[in-house]
Amino acid sequence: MVKFISAAEAVTFFQNGQTLMIGGFLNCGSPELVINELLKTDLKDFILIANDTGEANTNRGKLICAGKIKKAIVSHIGTNAETVRLYNAGKIEVDLQPQGSLAERVRAGGAGLGGILTPVGIGTKVAENKRIIEVGGKEYLLETPLHADIAVVYATYADRFGNLAFHGSTRNFNALMPPAADIVIAEAEYISDEPLNPDNIVVPGIYVDYLINGGANGTI
């Protein structure tokens, strides 16, 4: 069964230089509590895997501004001027990925696949130093799977077994990341003592190690 912890307890699992997956799409469905606790520590040199680097004063962007991220594997950085500034100054490495390819690489990491084949990026700089495989007379890039030491995700609903469900578009990368990490920490707005309706479960509790009560009114 999943273990309930506080955000302050969650940061004890982090170490310098780890690869982190952090869910969310800009400000939609971002796990703010653990991010805020990380800002209180001296931990740094993380490799961030996420959809984006947020904005300068919100969610993942705060980790960028605090100098805790040495490399970001993301689909865009345009909403965070500090990421752009650090990149231009050579103080952060940015690996920009087509959004669909990024999502599929995360999925491949969770499914134990050796990678994905995609035509996206053929004939562009995206293809530099990557293996090209021909299938049926068409060229594809081999994109390798992504895996993390820790994934921190948001959920709208959870139960005491760690099953997660989402409202609307908050599922985004939050639903993809749990299978692709060694340790999974979920912040849930509402936590139920009763099992969630199986029809509504998006992330089975088997993928979730720790659960944080992130809601104002706690449980449902």
- What's the domain range around 168? 3-213
How many distinct structural domains can be found in the chain?
Answer: 1
Report yes or no on 219 lying in a domain. Answer: no
> Residue 57 has what pLDDT?
87
- Measure the CA angle with vertex 59, ends 73 and 77; round to 5°: 40
Report yes or no on 205 lying in a domain. Answer: yes
> What separation in angstroms does the CA of 51 have from each of 22, 110, 210?
8, 16, 22
Report yes or no on 220 lying in a domain. Answer: no
> Residue 219 has what pLDDT?
42
- The parts of the chain modelled with pLDDT lower than 70 are 216-220
> Residue 191 has what pLDDT?
95
CATH of the domain at 79: 3.40.1080.10
Report yes or no on 111 lying in a domain. Answer: yes
Phi, psi of 100 (to 5 degrees): -65, -40
Report yes or no on 218 lying in a domain. Answer: no
Full-model pTM: 0.95
Q: What is the pLDDT of residues 18-53, one digit of tens each?
A: 999 999 999 999 999 999 999 999 999 999 999 999
